[in-house]
Amino acid sequence: MGHALFFHLTRSSAEDVVRLNVTRALGLGWRVVIRSPDRPTLERLDERLWLHPEDSFLPHGMAGTPQDADQPVLLTQGPAIPNGARALLALDGAPVTVDEIAALERCWIVFDGGDPAAMEIARSQWRDLTGAGAEAEYWSEASGRWQMQTAKRKN
C-alpha cells in the first residue's frame, strides 16, 4: 500500500516538485500520472517538461491520444490511469481517493502555500484521506529545505 505526500510550496514551483519526484519515480521504473483539473496548467507543464532544462526532458504525453497507455508520464484532467502508473502527482486540488493511494506506490499532492483556497483544499484532502485510513506525510520547505512536518500512520 502506498501513501500520500503533501508538498506545501513556499519557495519551489510546482514544476520543480514535478521534475524532482517524477525523475525519481522513473528511476524506480514507475510510470506516473500527473492530474490537474486545469487544462492550461497541464499545457504549460507539457511545454516545460519538453524544453527545460535544455539538456534534459521527461518523456511524457497529454492524455487523449491513442498512445496514452504507452506514456511513462501522462498528463491528464481525468480520473483514469490508462498508462498503468504506479504513482500519481496531483496539482491544483485535483481529487485523489483513498483507493488510489492504496493501489499506488506513491501519491504526491502539491499545493501553493500562498493561495488560501489551495491551502483549504489541501487541508480538506488531508482530513478526508487520513480519516479514511490513508497514510500521509506533510512536507514543507518553509525552513529553506524540504522537511517532513507531520505524518499520519496506521496503528
Pairing of strands 73-76, 61-62: parallel
Angle (nearest 5°) at CA 100 between 94 and 106: 85
Instruction: Domain 6-152: give its CATH superfamily.
Output: DNA polymerase III subunit chi (3.40.50.10110)
> What would the DSSP string read from start to end of 82-139?
TT--SEEEE-TT----HHHHHHSSEEEEEEETT-HHHHHHHHHHHHHHHHTT--EEEE
pLDDT per residue as tens digits for the range 107-123: 999 999 999 999 999 99
pTM of the predicted structure, to 2 decimals: 0.93
Q: Does position 50 have pLDDT exceeding 90, yes or no?
A: no
* Structure confidence at residue 125 as a pLDDT band (50, 70, 90): very high
Longest dimension (CA), the chain: 46
Domain ranges of the chain: 6-152
